[in-house]
């Protein structure tokens, strides 16, 4: 009897002192498009376990429909229309996907600096709408959040956490040249054997390739340290009322959830607060809608090809769309192309255009033979999960 009483006393003390029975309040500073799709998987599980989730949703936005988000929502009013915002973001991604490959190495670095600055300007508008809203900040302070979950490619989540005096966690994939990981997360990534993102190198580089990799690191450091970070350093210093830098604040992250996995990455050192979470969103395929299923089944033994350039690129130039359509018309497979631009004149009878497709369910269909993609993280892992070759 004494042993039982002792057990219950210890159990109650454990609950009291270690908070193991409490749920928390989570503030979310998200990024739109595929980043939100991935982050929402984590938030769904947190909510399922009883945690209270509040998401700061910009208006306008693309995927953030505040009427359908199953969490508490605080809307940030941006001084820009949805059409303008989409045009800006789509233009940035279009240049990255189609214009950069045409440029020389040095011209590419200059263009990337311009694109990073444009994206930074868009992120700053969202930051301003939160930081200058005293009423919103007061509500957030009164809520007494336990932690902030943010995306480091959309600067400001860490500033908000600092202002609210709460810890924060990042959900992240990579930055150009791994510059944020190296300079802010303090990851010891040596250029001698860790290939920088976008170069297309492996960890087995020739001497010339190592020089090229080292040069990428130097150029990206200069790009961010002299053209991107200083503006944000000044902004953070004014917001906090004391000298501060963006990297200094980002470096306080309790954990970096990296949306990839070590078994498909080249080896590199990482720190104890780095966790690989690639593929969290992967799940078994559900049955397709009737119209889609009929089209897929009509492909016979040749099967189908799924083609998408992600959620941001809505259309292409007429020349490029016709070129792609004529190439797809020559393959024996049926093609499901996620595309919302003008219908190409060269579109073949084997290809259908869709404004939206159930990507995961299509990739899990037994008749899917290949996946043509812009190499977004979500699509890559879904293809790996379902065993579909990628192009």
Tally the residues of the chain: 391
In terms of Cβ atoms closer than 10 Å to its own Cβ (0-12, 13-18, 19+), residue 346 is middle
- pTM score: 0.77
Q: Above 50 in pLDDT, residue 207?
A: yes
> Max CA-CA distance within the chain?
85
Is residue 3 very low, low, confident or very high in pLDDT (cuts 50, 70, 90)? low
Summarize the confidence of residues 167-179 as an average pLDDT.
87
CA 58 to chain centre: 16
Is residue 166 very low, low, confident or very high in pLDDT (cuts 50, 70, 90)? very high
Is residue 81 very low, low, confident or very high in pLDDT (cuts 50, 70, 90)? low
Instruction: Find the DSSP H helices in the chain.
Output: 2-18, 34-48, 82-94, 105-131, 134-143, 157-164, 179-183, 207-223, 229-240, 246-250, 290-297, 318-328, 359-363, 377-386
Domains of the chain (ranges; CATH) run: 22-82+117-276 (3.40.50.2000), 290-386 (3.40.50.2000)
pLDDT digit string (tens) for 212-229?
Answer: 999 989 988 988 888 889
Q: Above 90 in pLDDT, residue 130?
A: no
Write out the two tokens for 332.
């024996």
In this predicted structure, what is the pLDDT of residue 70?
80
In this predicted structure, what is the pLDDT of residue 61?
62
Contact criterion met (CB below 8 Å) for 308 and 338: yes
Summarize the confidence of residues 304-325 as an average pLDDT.
80
Write out the two tokens for 311.
């959620």
Is residue 89 very low, low, confident or very high in pLDDT (cuts 50, 70, 90)? low
Higher pLDDT, 100 or 384: 384
Collapsing DSSP states into helix, strand and coil, what is residue 76?
strand
Please list the residues that pair with 354 across neighbouring strands.
338
Is residue 60 very low, low, confident or very high in pLDDT (cuts 50, 70, 90)? low
Is residue 312 very low, low, confident or very high in pLDDT (cuts 50, 70, 90)? low
Contact criterion met (CB below 8 Å) for 269 and 187: yes
Reply yes or no: is the peptide bond before residue 184 cis, omega within 30 of 0: no
Collapsing DSSP states into helix, strand and coil, what is residue 334?
strand
Is residue 384 very low, low, confident or very high in pLDDT (cuts 50, 70, 90)? confident
In this predicted structure, what is the pLDDT of residue 208?
93
Q: Which residues lie closer than 8 Å to 128 by C-beta, 6 or more apart?
A: none
Contact criterion met (CB below 8 Å) for 271 and 344: no
In this predicted structure, what is the pLDDT of residue 9?
45
In this predicted structure, what is the pLDDT of residue 167?
95
Collapsing DSSP states into helix, strand and coil, what is residue 139?
helix
CA 164 to chain centre: 24
Q: What is the mean pLDDT of the chain?
A: 82
Q: Above 70 in pLDDT, residue 341?
A: yes
Summarize the confidence of residues 191-203 as an average pLDDT.
84
Residue 98 — φ and ψ, nearest 5°? Answer: -120, -30
């Amino acid at each position: 009897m004494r042993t039982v009483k002792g057990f219950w006393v210890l159990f109650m003390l454990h609950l009291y002192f270690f908070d193991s029975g409490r749920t928390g309040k989570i503030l979310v500073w998200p990024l739109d498009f595929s980043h939100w799709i991935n982050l929402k998987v984590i938030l769904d599980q947190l909510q399922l376990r009883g945690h209270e989730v509040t998401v700061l949703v910009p208006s306008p936005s693309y995927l953030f429909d505040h009427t359908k988000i199953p969490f508490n929502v605080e809307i940030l009013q941006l001084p820009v229309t949805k059409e303008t915002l989409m045009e800006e973001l789509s233009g940035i991604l279009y240049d990255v996907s189609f214009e950069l490959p045409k440029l020389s190495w040095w011209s590419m670095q200059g263009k990337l600096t311009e694109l990073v600055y444009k994206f930074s300007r868009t992120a700053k508008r969202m930051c301003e709408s939160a930081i200058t809203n005293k009423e919103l900040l007061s509500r957030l302070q009164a809520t007494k959040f336990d932690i902030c979950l943010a995306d480091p490619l959309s600067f400001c989540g860490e500033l908000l956490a600092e202002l609210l005096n709460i810890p924060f966690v990042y959900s992240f994939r990579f930055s150009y040249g791994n510059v944020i990981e190296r300079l802010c997360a303090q990851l010891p990534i040596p250029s001698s054997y860790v290939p920088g993102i976008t170069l297309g190198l492996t960890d087995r580089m020739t001497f010339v390739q190592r020089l090229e990799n080292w040069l990428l690191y130097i150029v990206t450091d200069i790009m961010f340290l002299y053209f991107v970070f200083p503006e944000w350093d000044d902004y953070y210093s004014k917001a906090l009322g004391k000298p501060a830098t963006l990297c200094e604040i980002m470096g306080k992250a309790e954990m970096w959830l990296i949306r990839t996995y070590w078994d498909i990455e080249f080896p590199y050192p990482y720190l104890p607060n780095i966790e690989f979470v690639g593929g969290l969103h992967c799940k078994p395929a559900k049955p397709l809608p009737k119209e889609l299923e009929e089209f897929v089944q009509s492909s016979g033994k040749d099967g189908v090809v799924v083609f998408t350039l992600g959620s941001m690129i809505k259309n292409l130039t007429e020349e490029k769309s016709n070129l792609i359509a004529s190439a797809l018309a020559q393959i024996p497979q049926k093609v499901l192309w996620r595309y919302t631009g003008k219908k190409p004149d060269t579109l073949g009878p084997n290809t259908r255009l869709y404004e939206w497709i159930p990507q995961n369910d299509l990739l899990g269909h037994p008749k899917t033979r290949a996946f043509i993609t812009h190499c977004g993280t979500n699509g890559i892992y879904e293809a790996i999960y379902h065993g579909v070759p990628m192009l």
